[in-house]
Chain A
Amino acid sequence: MQKTEGEDRFSLLTDDILLSILGRVNITTAARTSVLSKRWKHLPWLLQELTIEAKDFLPGPLSCSAEAQHIDAAMALLTKAIRSFLATHQRFSSLQLKLKLYLVDNYSDTIGPLLSEAIGVGTVKDSDLSILGEKESENCNDEDMLQQASSVDGFFRAYTGVLDCLTRLSLYNVFFSERDMNHILFDCCKQLQHLYLSNCDTGGLAAWKIHAPDSNLITLELDMCFLGKLEVLHLPKLERLRWDGWMCPNAPLSFGVVPCLTRLAVRFATFRITSAVHNRLATSARIVSPGNRKLAAPITATHHTEIHTNPAATIR
């Protein structure tokens, strides 16, 4: 160590480098640097890429499932953080905003208009939104997932402006109807390139048909989605499709017009089956065919399939 006593090398770095460093710490650490010294005062507000996550405001290391009161407190702080950044950024534009939040009514009513306005005036040019589930997927029942679906649908319908520059969307624990979901994802989110769904499905092992000739979707990722079948009828830009934890008895996938598809990864469920998941599947199975419990049988098998492919070769 030949540290020159008392010299502050850090503050001497250029704004570009300091912003590159601030972009790697969480939003509270970044914002707090403005109290370090006058050199740092405005730096956090110059960040062009912002990630604001509810977990940064939850107490301690994230436990397996956050308590409702903690979620509420975290969302109150997150709302203030969004307001704080969007207010100071109004002079600038082209912000890339990444949000990971819970939809809690009174905060959504503040966040929705804030985002819509910022997107409307061009402060935010690109957004990446994750709507988190309050429960771990294995603790969710159908009612939780219907509730989540209604929150997501309500939020997007109330603040359609939020969807305008959405390039990435992640949803958790949503029990969706095909019609509503396709409308939101493919009619409203015109810029959407990356869609991640975790524990989301149409219920009753029903099929999900996607016919979206105008969609810009490039990547579709599904985790633990109990779809009876995924029929990709038309997604002109789709390059990558991943389906992890597929557990359906039938041929799960069919493709229509997917000229850009080059990577396909399908993995059969390899996890230990918790009773909650088992019950959910059994319930779903009952909806399809009352009394038929045999549908649950294939989930005990394990497979791992990963296909890297050239569309001309294997996709039909």
Chain B
Amino acid sequence: MEVDKGKGEAEETRKVAEADRDTVTLKSSDGKLFEVSKEAAARLSTVLAGMIAGGSIDDNGTDLKQIGSEALENVVDYCNKHANSIPSAALISSSISFNTAPFKEPEEWERKFVDRLSHDALFDLVEAANFLGMERLLDVTCHKISEMMKGKSPDQIREVFNIKNDYTKEELEEIRQELAWAFYDD
């Protein structure tokens, strides 16, 4: 959803009053511009909500120097999809149980959204969500990473995420002894 500058200028000429614009333009660390619904941005990101409320949104593109264009594209894509999604049946209280869990399972579209990402893109998105104070997106991405760990041994987790074991053999053995209860099925 990248906006080229020509189109941005054309919009300017439409003389839409600043305050009435229903989108905000965000600029990635590598200078690319993205447009996102103001309502969705304010609803999903505490940081963007603060900037919108505080008037620190730049119409020529608000600088987000910490976020690369690939991650920002995913953020904007997520906001737009979120704005258009219809809550699933599970959320429309058809169930008799009173669900008081703080985190609701990802919606089908959210699952698909994170499933298609490469490892690097997923970690970029986690960091972007954290930076922008996007609680729901952070939940969904953390949930995805937790799913990638489930049922895996420490060796398998190291392999999946390229984690380097910097323990000595003796140190490792000591920890494993202390945590024998957690390794009962080894």
Q: Which residues of A contact B (CB under 8 A)?
A: 1-4, 6-14, 16-17, 20-22, 24-29, 31-38, 40-41, 57, 59, 77, 80-81, 84, 194, 219, 221, 240, 242, 244, 263, 265, 267, 306
Bound Cα distance from A120 to B35, whole angstroms: 54
What chain A residues lie within 8 Å of B183 (beta carbons)?
A: 28, 32
Asked if B119 contacts A306 (CB within 8 A), the reply is: no
Closest to B145 in A: A21
Contacts A21-B146, A37-B167, A59-B185: A8 and B100 contacting too (C-beta < 8 A)?
no
Bound Cα distance from A8 to B181, whole angstroms: 28
Contacting residue for B118 out of A3, A11, A24, A59, CB 8 A: A3
Contacting residue for B163 out of A37, A219, A244, A306, CB 8 A: A37
Interface of chain B residues 102 through 148 with chain A (CB within 8 A): 118-120, 123, 126-127, 130, 138-139, 142-143, 145-146
Bound Cα distance from A25 to B172, whole angstroms: 22
Asked if B98 contacts A10 (CB within 8 A), the reply is: no
Contacts A9-B123, A11-B163, A20-B142: A194 and B100 contacting too (C-beta < 8 A)?
yes
What chain A residues lie within 8 Å of B176 (beta carbons)?
A: 35
Asked if B179 contacts A34 (CB within 8 A), the reply is: yes
Asked if B150 contacts A29 (CB within 8 A), the reply is: yes
Contacts A13-B126, A81-B181: A37 and B165 contacting too (C-beta < 8 A)?
yes
Contacts A17-B138, A32-B183, A35-B154: A10 and B145 contacting too (C-beta < 8 A)?
yes
Min C-beta distance of A92 to chain B, whole Å: 18
In the complex, B182 has a CB within 8 A of chain A: yes
Contacting residue for A263 out of B98, B138, B151, B166, CB 8 A: B98
Total interface residues in chain B, CB < 8 Å: 43
Asked if A219 contacts B100 (CB within 8 A), the reply is: yes
Closest to B186 in A: A32
What chain B residues lie within 8 Å of A34 (beta carbons)?
A: 175, 179
Asked if A9 contacts B143 (CB within 8 A), the reply is: no
Closest to A194 in B: B100
Min C-beta distance of A130 to chain B, whole Å: 14
Bound Cα distance from A80 to B184, whole angstroms: 11
With A4-B120, A10-B123 given, name 17 new contacts (CB 8 A).
A3-B120, A6-B162, A11-B161, A13-B127, A21-B149, A24-B146, A25-B149, A28-B184, A32-B179, A32-B182, A36-B165, A38-B166, A41-B175, A57-B181, A57-B184, A81-B182, A84-B181
